[in-house]
Amino acid sequence: MALFEVTEYDREIYERELKDFLPEEMIDIHTHIWLDHMRRPKPLAPGEVKRTVTWPSLVAKDNSVEDLQETYRLMFPDKRVTPLMFTSGEREAFPELNNYVKECAAKTGYPALYYSCPEQSGEELEQKIREGGFLGLKSYLDLSPAYLPEKEIRIFDFFPKYQLRKMNEMKAIIMLHIPRDGRLKDPVNLAQIRELKQEFPDIRLIIAHIGRAYVESDVGNAFEVLSDCTDLMFDFCANCCEFAITKLLESVGPKRAMFGSDMPILRMRTHRIEENGTYINLIPPGLYGDPSQDRHLREVSPEEAKRITFFMYEEILAFKRAAVKLGLTKEDVYDVFCGNAKRLIEGARRDIYGA
């Protein structure tokens, strides 16, 4: 049985819109892998508020490296896709989850990041990175101290400076999912991104999801504020906002933008729209349970659902519209989908391991 269905409509979208647009070789800079039995979810304590949205967890219960490879085979049948991998899960499960990523990287040769907790020392993280062949770190806002309300979390609460100092010495990659309701335009986020780059200039910093700028109003004056961070990289994973992608390419150019998928989330069937300053994922009826469990979900009619394809294709189509509008060349598109990530990964590997 196939991992998921690829419909005639999906094939039509790929053949007509994406096959010739995409390079033969691709690097997916942002992917999660884990096995369901390794995760250890626990119920919220009384009064505790969930710090993450619900809908991504509805797409897949896990994502093995074999599932990831099969996803690429189904979605990009004539391309060679290499992922940069890291895990996802609960703090208590990180030793086992990170070890799974380590084993998968050794088996496949794929590059990987270590998933860190803020209480780990820089020295411990260097040891974990070197032992596992990792190229840097990924972390997440929900690992910040429990006493912090979600709206008050800052970057340095889950990537503390004693860790960043060591990552700067190593010239490692940091994949940064920024916090806060203001997303990319939030002044605290912007100030701390600039502070991070000024104090730790040798970190290879990637701002994930274009700083979670999923709708036009999330962008603000961020690119003007960050204009002196001249080596800051951005991925546009799980982002279908043509305005944000266009603004990114206009502001930093195609040498600092990278394709990412946030797999397995982009296996989702959805068409994303903007409404009242937020995003809504339009989904087929019955596919992801009760849509009332998350304000970002809305079911469409069975007839409309026939014209809904993969989130993956929707993201790339949004990028393509921006690329066409700005007159990007084939070489530019290659850089975004492969070349930039290849240089970043090879540079980190050379600086950390001398190879």
- pLDDT value at residue 287: 93
Q: CA quadruple 87, 257, 129, 163: dihedral positive or negative?
A: negative
Beta strands in the chain (DSSP E): 25-32, 80-86, 114-115, 136-138, 173-176, 204-207, 233-235, 257-258, 271-275, 278-283, 297-299
HSE of 311 in the Cβ direction (CA atoms, 13 Å)? 26
Peptide bond into 302 cis (omega under 30): no
CB 137 within 8 A of CB 167: yes
Contact 111, 135 (CB under 8 A): yes
pLDDT at 51 over 50: no
pTM of the model: 0.95
Interior angle at CA 127, CA 121 and CA 131, nearest 5: 150
pLDDT tens digits, residue range 190-202? 999 999 999 999 9
Q: Are 160 and 195 in contact (CB under 8 A)?
A: no
pLDDT, mean over the chain: 95
Model pLDDT for residues 160-185, shown as the tens digit of each residue: 999 999 999 999 999 999 999 999 99
**Which whole number is the average pLDDT over 280-292?**
94
What pLDDT is stored for residue 45 in this prediction? 56
Question: Hunting for tokens 């080596």 — which residue is that?
Answer: 231
Is residue 39 scored above 90 in pLDDT?
A: no
Q: Nearest-5° angle of CA 243, CA 278, CA 6?
A: 75
List the single range of 112-121, 149-158, 290-299, 331-340 with lowest mean pLDDT: 290-299
Q: How confident is the model at residue 56 (pLDDT cuts 50, 70, 90)?
A: confident
DSSP letter at 112 equals B
Q: What is the pLDDT of residue 120?
A: 98
